[in-house]
Amino acid sequence: MLHEGAGCDGGALLAAARGGNSDAFGALVEMHRVELHAHCYRMLASYHDADDALQEALVRAWRALPSFEGRSSLRTWLYKIATNAALDVAARRSRRELPVSYGPPVEGGPSAPLAESTWIEPYPDRQLGASQMSASPEARYDERESLELAFVVALQALPASQRAALLLREVLGFSAAEIAEQLGTTVAAVTSALQRARESLSRHRPGPSQQQTLRSLGDERARRLVTAFVDALERADADALVGLLTEDAAWAMPPLPSWYRGTAAIAGFLRQFGFNERWRHRPTSANGQPALGCYTLDPATRTWVPSALAVLSLREERVAEVDYFLTAELLGRWGDASTAGGVEMFARFGLPASVS
């Protein structure tokens, strides 16, 4: 694939695009599409909102390309446009959360779903495989760490301008001067925003990242933990499952706002409600974390249908949080189909539409 600045061909593509050649423009932006989409996701905590922001950014870039003078790299220029498109989307839409940050835990049965736009959406790691991200060595967070659920949740607690400044500096490695130009502000304002954002982020993320935990565990131990978790789920063995959890573990199921804290509460929920369905699972990864495609048996069709995308957050050799992103197929059987269709979501994670 041709990289920006890769000799005369890159310059020829840019010249052709500036002259109105839409195919040349498409080839240029394709080099950066994956990393720009991930950036919009970090800003907005939603795969679908990231799609909208990136589409708007590319429309703006096409219209503005004749005026691009090359004083910055094309990548820097595209990030400026994408960041501001994401800021515009953020201004129109409410902040997204996970149930654990939305309200206190419950002890009884789960409550009715809330609007899908309330919740953070999971992000497929497989999409990052083609990323051309070339962040500065000064960036503090690597690509997968900057997509972890805890990091994305913490970002949403920041004002959008602080969120943008932090991501541009500490994920992408832009300088304060470059960020000021991208956001239309001053270096002093960027420096102040970064200081406040770092202080807030340190309060929201006190422990090690999932990437640090996974490196400490190693692939084999992490795989054994996930395999044991799946085995307990499929056998409907609540005792075995809670034995794999930390004492203060959290269990959430967006778009349901209710969630459970601690092994006793989780075991009670599973015995009374969670094991009312039969489950089968396929491994995947999301937000730089182990994840599972979860299927239940549809009584009408007798087929195993996508029912949840479960993202596991680990601590040492235990599961500390499970976020089950429930699908329309499952909620429809419960009388509500207001959330995303599982087949579409599962396809993004490389998961089949059904299992046997």
Q: How far apart are CA 319 and CA 246, in angstroms?
A: 6
On whether residue 6 sits in a domain, the answer given is no
> For residue 103, is it within any domain?
no
Domain at 79, CATH number: 1.20.140
Same domain, 188 and 266: no
**Number of domains making up the chain:** 2
Q: For the full predicted model, state whether its pTM sits above 0.85.
A: yes
Asked if 78 and 217 sit in the same domain, the reply is no
137 vs 344 pLDDT, higher one: 344
* Whole-Å CA distances, 35 to 78, 171, 235, 342: 11, 11, 40, 25
Domain boundary among 158, 174, 204: 204
Residue 301 is part of which domain span?
A: 210-348
Residue 180 placed within a domain:
yes
pLDDT band at 132 (very low <50, low <70, confident <90, very high): very low
20 is a domain residue = no
Query: Is 160 found in the same domain as 246?
Result: no
Which of 204, 226, 249 is the last residue before a domain boundary? Answer: 204
Helix axes 22-30, 7-18, angle to 10 degrees: 130
219 and 72 in one domain?
no
Torsion sign (Cα): 128, 229, 352, 110: negative
Could you tell me which residues are beta bridge partners of residue 250?
261, 321
Same structural domain for residues 156 and 275?
A: no
Tell me whether strands 245-253 and 318-326 are parallel, antiparallel or unpaired.
parallel
Please name every residue paired with 283 in a beta bridge, in sequence order, or none if there are none: 292
Query: What confidence tens digit (pLDDT) does each residue in 285-323 have?
Result: 999 999 999 999 988 889 999 999 999 999 999 999 999
Predicted confidence (pLDDT) at residue 190 exceeds the cutoff of 50? yes
Domain co-membership, 335 together with 254: yes
Residues 309, 254 share a domain: yes
Q: Do both 38 and 174 map to the same domain?
A: yes
CATH at residue 217: 3.10.450.50
Task: Indicate the DSSP class of residue 141.
Answer: S
Per the domain annotation, does 14 fall within a domain? no
Residues 197 and 218 in one domain: no
204 or 169, greater pLDDT = 169
Identify whether residues 218 and 178 lie together within a single domain.
no
Among 204, 239, 258, the domain-final residue is 204
Share of the chain above pLDDT 70, in %: 92
Confidence of residue 38 (pLDDT cuts 50, 70, 90): very high
Together in a domain, 225 and 197: no
Q: Is residue 115 part of a domain?
A: no
| Domain assignment present for 2 | no
Q: What is the pLDDT of residue 6?
A: 37
Contact 96, 68 (CB under 8 A): no
DSSP letter assigned to residue 130: G
Closest alpha carbon to 171 in 42, 30, 29, 33: 42
Say yes or no to pLDDT of 17 above 80.
yes
Are 183 and 272 found together in one domain? no
The answer to whether the CB of 298 falls within 8 A of the CB of 305 is yes
Q: Distance between CA 278 and CA 275 in Å, rounded?
A: 7
Question: What distance in Å separates the CA atoms of residue 138 and residue 172, rounded to the nearest whole number?
Answer: 9
